[in-house]
């Protein structure tokens, strides 16, 4: 069954990539978060960040998500990362979203880049845009919302050295969360 979920996510990502025209998807995504309310303030007060231009997520009972990203330390690109997630329970649909994870200090950055890192069930993200199904809180945080990406308002704080924000790109899904995401990291060569 997990193979089928991976296939659905891959197909969703391919369809999204075929319709997207980006000169530099990483720079565009970073600029989006820099101009999106409170998430923009985290660039000045964090050690670094991991940015994922597109994470595709789909599910019917069993769900899966996957995306590729880059890790930056004080603005310098230091390596590549990927995220995978398998979830079970009441969920239906598919969506694509961008995600950024800020590292409060060197300890948080080292923990993320140590190899395999995983968000536990208590992890939460702040959704930046207002859209059906775009709320991505799992526990504890609240999210502000707005009508568009450029005028987004957000409310966020570090939790265990990390702060996570998402921007919905498209799709509709009954369930959206970051708890249970597993990350891999490969240093830049």
Cα–Cα distance, 36 to 29 (Å, whole number): 11
Nearest to 113 by CA among 53, 188, 173: 188
Cβ(93)–Cβ(173) below 8 Å: yes
| pLDDT tens for each residue of the chain, 189 residues long | 555 545 555 545 554 454 444 459 999 999 999 998 778 999 999 999 999 999 998 888 788 889 999 999 999 999 999 999 887 776 678 888 899 999 999 999 999 999 778 877 666 777 775 432 333 333 333 333 333 444 444 457 888 899 999 888 877 665 556 767 899 999 998
Q: Tally Cβ neighbours within 10 Å of residue 181.
A: 24
Residue with tokens 């997520």: 57
Domains of the chain by residue range: 2-187
What's the pLDDT score for residue 115? Answer: 78
pTM comes to 0.72
Cβ(2)–Cβ(118) below 8 Å: no
Q: Tally Cβ neighbours within 10 Å of residue 153.
A: 14
For the chain, the helix, strand and coil percentages under 3-state DSSP, each to the nearest 5 = 25, 40, 35
34, burial (CB in 10 Å: exposed 0-12, middle 13-18, buried 19+) = middle
Q: What is the SS3 assignment for 99? A: strand
Nearest to 9 by CA among 53, 52, 55, 51: 55
The tokens of 68 are what? 């590729």
């Amino acid at each position: 069954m997990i193979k089928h979920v991976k296939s659905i996510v891959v197909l969703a990502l391919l369809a999204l990539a075929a319709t997207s025209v980006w000169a530099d998807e990483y720079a565009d995504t970073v600029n989006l978060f820099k101009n999106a309310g409170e998430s923009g303030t985290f660039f000045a007060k964090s050690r670094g960040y991991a940015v994922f231009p597109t994470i595709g997520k789909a599910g019917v009972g069993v769900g899966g998500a996957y995306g590729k990203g880059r890790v930056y330390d004080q603005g310098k690109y230091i390596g590549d990362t990927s995220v995978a997630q398998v979830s079970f329970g009441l969920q239906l649909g598919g969506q694509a979203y961008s995600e950024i994870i800020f590292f409060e200090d060197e300890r948080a950055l080292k923990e993320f880049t140590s190899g395999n890192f995983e968000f536990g069930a208590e992890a939460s993200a702040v959704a930046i845009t207002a859209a059906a199904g775009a709320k991505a809180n799992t526990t504890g945080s609240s999210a502000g919302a707005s009508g568009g990406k450029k005028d987004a308002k957000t409310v966020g704080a570090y939790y265990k050295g990390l702060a996570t924000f998402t921007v919905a790109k498209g799709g509709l899904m009954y369930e959206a969360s970051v708890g249970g995401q597993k990350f891999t990291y490969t240093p830049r060569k």
